[in-house]
């Protein structure tokens, strides 16, 4: 009696330990969920902050590029008043610029507030013809250093000029864009070349364009262009105005090699020879978002902690029952209650999975017991059940880890062997199953004798679907029964012929 009580106490203690472990698991799960919830919120917030910062940074880069592009366009438009002018073209026909032209026309057009540090006229060969520096005429040769550092721009401007020329009967015509009523600015030839360069220690806008008449006609003897070069420094006042328009801080220029996490940089002017980039301190809305959102997330997490604690407390006892019920139902749904082997549903699920993957061959063996009905009729259903359990144990031992056994119903069994595609090996296993079925089974002091027949088929040789493979295996099984029972046949192979090796009837 005491031994029985001790065993009962042990069972109770084991059950209590399992319940304690379950409660701890549920508690840990609840804490993990809360932690994940908090982490997810902070990760989403962090992602949102980074996306906001990235969006603002991208927007600011676009605004800065557009600002400097606008500045360049203004210089191009201003310069076109001289480079796209009949008087300039005619004046340069003599190979120089007269003092009268400078006094009468250039000084009127180049106002003191235009901000040009250089205005140079040079031949396409690079020789300066005329130069003005800070609004004063200087020796043309003094611009030689400037022309040296922008030689790539002058070469491109010359190339653009020649590409725009179209031959006419008595000269050349410059191709231009068609004027549009939607444009506020006049249509000018697209032969100007722009860049941003460090000129005399100051980042400057450089515009180079061939001087052409407004009539766009170039006589043959004037085909060789004279290039006009203007340099517009980006002064501190200009940068300050741009900075205020864009709402930025510390807008300026930095070396392209600068590495500073506190600054944003972007190339401007589209000039690959420019060693400087625009730089500024970006607006970062992320810090404001953190300040506003963290208290709200903290309150939300606290509420979630309370809810999860209540849920864990309410459902800790139900989890165990649900797990037991689900495990039992899952097992019953896929296994035969009498033998413990897979049932038809479980077997079909495995075969369908193998056919769906289709990465390796596999074999299916269909086995029927012979004279099983006689055992049931003569000795009763208890004897039949004993035979089914004994045959299942033999088959399961014989198959081992090579495959899976299923009882499809009544005295019908099936075996699936993943990875097996050798007909000889498949048939040999089927023959051993047939021999196992022939061994008498002891029951209630007597021996019950049954037999078996088997049909085998393989994937993909005999089909690529469950129905196709099973149909071939059943057909082979039918041929085995038709041929005298107690034998195994491989569908459609030479092993199906009546020879001594395939006949497995008992002696």
Q: Domain ranges in the chain?
A: 62-281, 344-496
**Going by C-beta distance under 8 Å and a sequence separation of 6 or more, which residues neighbour residue 353?**
none
Q: What is the pLDDT of residues 399-428, one digit of tens each?
A: 999 999 999 999 999 999 999 989 999 999
Ranking 16-30, 48-62, 146-160, 225-239 by mean pLDDT, the lowest is 16-30
- Give the pLDDT confidence score for residue 204 in this predicted structure: 92
**Cα–Cα dist 165/251, whole Å:** 41
CATH architecture for residues 344-496: 2-Layer Sandwich (3.30)
- Give the pLDDT confidence score for residue 110 in this predicted structure: 63
308: which 2 tokens?
């999860």
Q: Which residue has the tokens 């725009």?
A: 164
pLDDT band for 181, please (50, 70, 90 cuts). low
pLDDT > 90 fraction of the chain, expressed in percent and rounded: 46
Closest-CA residue to 452 (of 429, 431, 425, 471): 431
**Cα–Cα dist 10/404, whole Å:** 37
- Give the pLDDT confidence score for residue 178 in this predicted structure: 63
Are 455 and 478 a contacting pair, CB within 8 Å? yes
Residue 498 has pLDDT above 50, yes or no: no
DSSP of 2-43, one letter per residue?
Answer: HHHHHHHHHHHHHHHHHHHHHHHHHHHHHHHHHHHHHHHHHH
**Going by C-beta distance under 8 Å and a sequence separation of 6 or more, which residues neighbour residue 170?**
219, 220
DSSP code for 172: E
320: which 2 tokens?
């165990």
- Give the pLDDT confidence score for residue 342 in this predicted structure: 94
φ, ψ for residue 139 (rounded to 5)?
Answer: -60, 135
Are 161 and 210 a contacting pair, CB within 8 Å? yes
Q: What is the mean pLDDT of residues 278-290?
A: 82
Identify the sign of the CA torsion 209, 212, 216, 218. Answer: negative
Ranking 42-46, 76-80, 247-251, 393-397 by mean pLDDT, the lowest is 42-46
Q: What is the mean pLDDT of residues 273-301?
A: 80
Q: What is the pLDDT of residues 355-391, one digit of tens each?
A: 998 889 999 999 999 999 999 999 999 999 999 999 9
Q: What is the mean pLDDT of residues 327-351?
A: 87
In CATH terms, the superfamily for domain 62-281 is PAS domain (3.30.450.20)
Strand partners of residue 220: none
Residue 179 has pLDDT above 90, yes or no: no
54: which 2 tokens?
């990235």
Of the two residues 497 and 274, the one the predictor is more confident about is 274
Q: How far apart are the first and last CA of the chain?
A: 55
pLDDT > 70 fraction of the chain, expressed in percent and rounded: 85
Are 470 and 413 a contacting pair, CB within 8 Å? no
Ranking 352-356, 475-479, 495-499 by mean pLDDT, the lowest is 495-499
Ranking 2-11, 220-229, 447-456 by mean pLDDT, the lowest is 2-11
Strand partners of residue 458: 363
pLDDT band for 306, please (50, 70, 90 cuts). confident
Pairing of strands 451-459, 488-490: parallel
- Give the pLDDT confidence score for residue 374 in this predicted structure: 92
Q: What is the pLDDT of residues 184-203, one digit of tens each?
A: 445 567 889 999 989 888 99
Mean residue pLDDT across the chain: 84
pLDDT band for 172, please (50, 70, 90 cuts). very high
Q: What pTM was estimated for this model as a whole?
A: 0.53
Residue 505 has pLDDT above 70, yes or no: no
Residue 273 has pLDDT above 90, yes or no: no
40: which 2 tokens?
């997810």
Strand, coil or helix: 486? coil
Residue 291 has pLDDT above 90, yes or no: no
- Give the pLDDT confidence score for residue 355 in this predicted structure: 92
- Give the pLDDT confidence score for residue 297 in this predicted structure: 76
pLDDT band for 502, please (50, 70, 90 cuts). very low
Strand blocks (E) in 179-328:
193-199, 202-210, 217-219, 226-233, 249-255, 264-266, 276-281
Residue 228 has pLDDT above 90, yes or no: yes
Residue 113 has pLDDT above 60, yes or no: no
Q: What is the mean pLDDT of residues 462-483?
A: 93
- Give the pLDDT confidence score for residue 500 in this predicted structure: 38
**Cα–Cα dist 368/413, whole Å:** 6
- Give the pLDDT confidence score for residue 324 in this predicted structure: 65
Q: What is the pLDDT of residues 93-108, one digit of tens each?
A: 888 888 888 888 776 6
């Amino acid at each position: 009696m005491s031994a029985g009580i001790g065993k009962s106490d042990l069972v109770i203690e084991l059950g209590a330990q399992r319940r304690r472990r379950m409660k701890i698991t549920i508690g840990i799960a609840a804490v993990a969920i809360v932690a994940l919830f908090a982490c997810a919120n902070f990760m989403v917030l962090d992602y949102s902050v980074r996306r906001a910062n990235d969006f603002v940074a991208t927007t600011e880069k676009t605004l800065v590029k557009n600002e400097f592009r606008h500045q360049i366009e203004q210089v191009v438009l201003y310069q076109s008043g001289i480079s796209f002018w009949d008087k300039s073209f005619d004046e340069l026909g003599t190979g120089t610029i007269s003092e009268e032209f400078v006094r009468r026309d250039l000084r009127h057009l180049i106002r003191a507030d235009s901000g040009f540090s250089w205005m140079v006229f040079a031949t396409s060969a690079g020789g300066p013809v005329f130069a003005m520096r800070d609004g004063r005429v200087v020796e043309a040769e003094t611009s030689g250093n400037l022309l040296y550092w922008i030689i790539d721009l002058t070469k491109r401007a010359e190339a653009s000029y020649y590409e725009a020329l179209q031959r006419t009967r008595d000269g050349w015509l410059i191709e231009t864009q068609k004027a549009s009523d939607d444009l506020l600015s006049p249509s000018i030839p697209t032969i100007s070349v722009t860049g941003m360069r460090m000129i005399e220690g100051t980042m400057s806008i450089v515009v180079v364009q061939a001087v052409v008449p407004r009539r766009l006609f170039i006589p043959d003897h004037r085909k060789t262009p004279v290039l006009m070069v203007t340099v517009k420094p980006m002064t501190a006042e200009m940068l300050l105005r741009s900075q205020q328009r864009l709402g930025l801080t510390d807008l300026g220029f930095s070396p392209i090699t600068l590495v500073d996490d506190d600054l944003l940089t972007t190339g401007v002017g589209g000039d690959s020879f420019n060693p400087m980039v625009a730089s500024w301190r970006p607006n970062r809305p992320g810090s404001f978002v953190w300040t506003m959102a963290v208290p709200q997330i903290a309150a939300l997490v606290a509420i979630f902690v309370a809810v999860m604690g209540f849920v864990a407390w309410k459902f800790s006892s139900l989890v165990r029952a649900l797990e037991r019920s689900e495990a039992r139902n899952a097992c019953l749904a896929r296994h035969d209650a009498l033998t413990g082997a897979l049932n038809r549903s479980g077997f079909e699920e495995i075969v369908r999975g193998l056919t769906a993957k289709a990465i390796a061959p596999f074999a299916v063996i269909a086995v029927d017991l012979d004279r099983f009905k006689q055992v049931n009729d003569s000795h009763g259903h208890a004897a039949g059940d004993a035979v089914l359990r004994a045959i299942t144990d033999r088959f399961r031992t014989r198959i081992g880890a090579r495959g899976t056994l299923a009882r499809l119903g009544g005295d019908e069994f099936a075996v699936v062997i993943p990875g097996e595609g050798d007909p000889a090996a498949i048939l040999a296993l089927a023959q051993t199953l047939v021999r196992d079925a022939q061994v008498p089974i002891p029951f209630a002091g007597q021996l019950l004798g049954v037999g078996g027949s088997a049909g085998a088929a393989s994937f993909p040789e005999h089909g690529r679907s469950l129905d196709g493979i099973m149909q071939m295996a059943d057909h082979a099984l039918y041929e085995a029964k038709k041929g005298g029972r107690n034998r195994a046949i491989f569908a459609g192979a030479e092993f199906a012929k009546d020879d001594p090796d395939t006949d497995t009837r008992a002696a």
